[in-house]
């Protein structure tokens, strides 16, 4: 098992990519904090799971992120890996997007990642943990996409948080990387993928010709969390079926 005796946090872990990553980590021997804003669903998911706890956290609130770190340490005695995965999306043309719609995406997808990186780094540095910090980016961090200005902006920022933190934390052997998924079959993409024409467009735009599964991203997260990637930091790992190679 690649994560035996490791302690990991996964935010946004009640569904989609976060759930797949958290369950993959459990199978690989980690003690895992499933964190999400959805308390009822999160607690249901960890029920009867050994070495798993749920801690509610709104990642856009710095106090809640700090509490997440401290409660993880209290529950499992440390912290080795954090996956800053929690995210949201709003689709609107730039001239139609409201201040509130813009701010919500930035607060969760960008500021929330900053809080997670900052507080995990503090703990790891102060406790001499050679940890792994993994941020969830997107192919839209480097590609524009209609009706996705806030999402694209936030994910572009995630890439730069990742690179900057990697440089600052490298002397302490704390690795910081990001995963940039392509279009994956999750609840967040369910609406657009249900449209037959749009799905066919996305599949045709993906060199491998199909939509990815959450397991594809979970496998990438396992790689970045484990010693398999001990010489990898500051990288954005594109798991996109070749989308960004075009």
Known catalytic residues?
151
CA dist 89 and 2 (Å) reads 32
On the 0-12 / 13-18 / 19+ scale of CB atoms within 10 A, 127 is exposed
Dihedral of alpha carbons 55, 135, 23, 173, sign: negative
Nearest-CA neighbor of 111 among 100, 103, 99? 103
C-alpha 204 chain-centroid distance? 26
Tracing tokens 């900053």 back to the chain, one arrives at 114
Are the C-beta atoms of residues 23 and 223 closer than 8 Å to each other?
no
Angle (nearest 5°) at CA 242 between 24 and 2: 25
What secondary structure does DSSP assign to 126-145, as a single string? HTT---EEEEE--GGGTS--
Distance CA 70, CA 72 (A): 5
Q: CB neighbours of 14 closer than 8 A, spacing ≥ 6?
A: 34, 36, 38, 41, 42, 45
């Amino acid at each position: 098992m690649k994560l035996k005796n490791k302690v990991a946090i996964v935010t946004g872990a009640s569904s989609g990519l976060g759930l797949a990553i958290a369950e993959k980590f459990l199978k690989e021997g980690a003690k895992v904090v499933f964190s999400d804003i959805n308390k009822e669903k999160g607690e249901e998911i960890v029920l009867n799971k050994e070495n798993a706890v749920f801690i509610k956290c709104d990642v856009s609130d710095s106090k809640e992120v700090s509490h997440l770190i401290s409660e993880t340490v209290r529950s499992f005695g440390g912290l080795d890996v954090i996956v800053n995965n929690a995210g949201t999306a709003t689709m609107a043309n730039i001239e139609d997007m409201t201040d509130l719609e813009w701010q919500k995406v930035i607060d969760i997808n960008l500021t929330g990642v900053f809080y997670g990186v900052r507080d995990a780094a503090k703990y790891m540095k102060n406790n001499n943990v050679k940890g792994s910090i993994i941020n969830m980016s997107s192919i839209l961090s480097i590609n524009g996409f209609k009706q996705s200005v806030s999402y694209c902006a936030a994910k572009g920022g995630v890439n730069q948080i990742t690179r900057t933190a990697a440089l600052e934390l490298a002397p302490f052997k704390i690795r910081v990387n990001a995963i940039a998924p392509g279009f994956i079959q999750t609840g967040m993409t369910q609406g657009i993928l249900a449209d037959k024409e749009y799905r066919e467009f996305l599949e045709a735009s993906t060199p491998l010709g199909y939509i990815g599964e959450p397991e594809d991203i979970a496998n990438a997260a396992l790689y970045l969390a484990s010693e398999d990637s001990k010489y990898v930091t500051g990288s954005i790992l594109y798991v996109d079926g070749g989308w960004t190679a075009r």
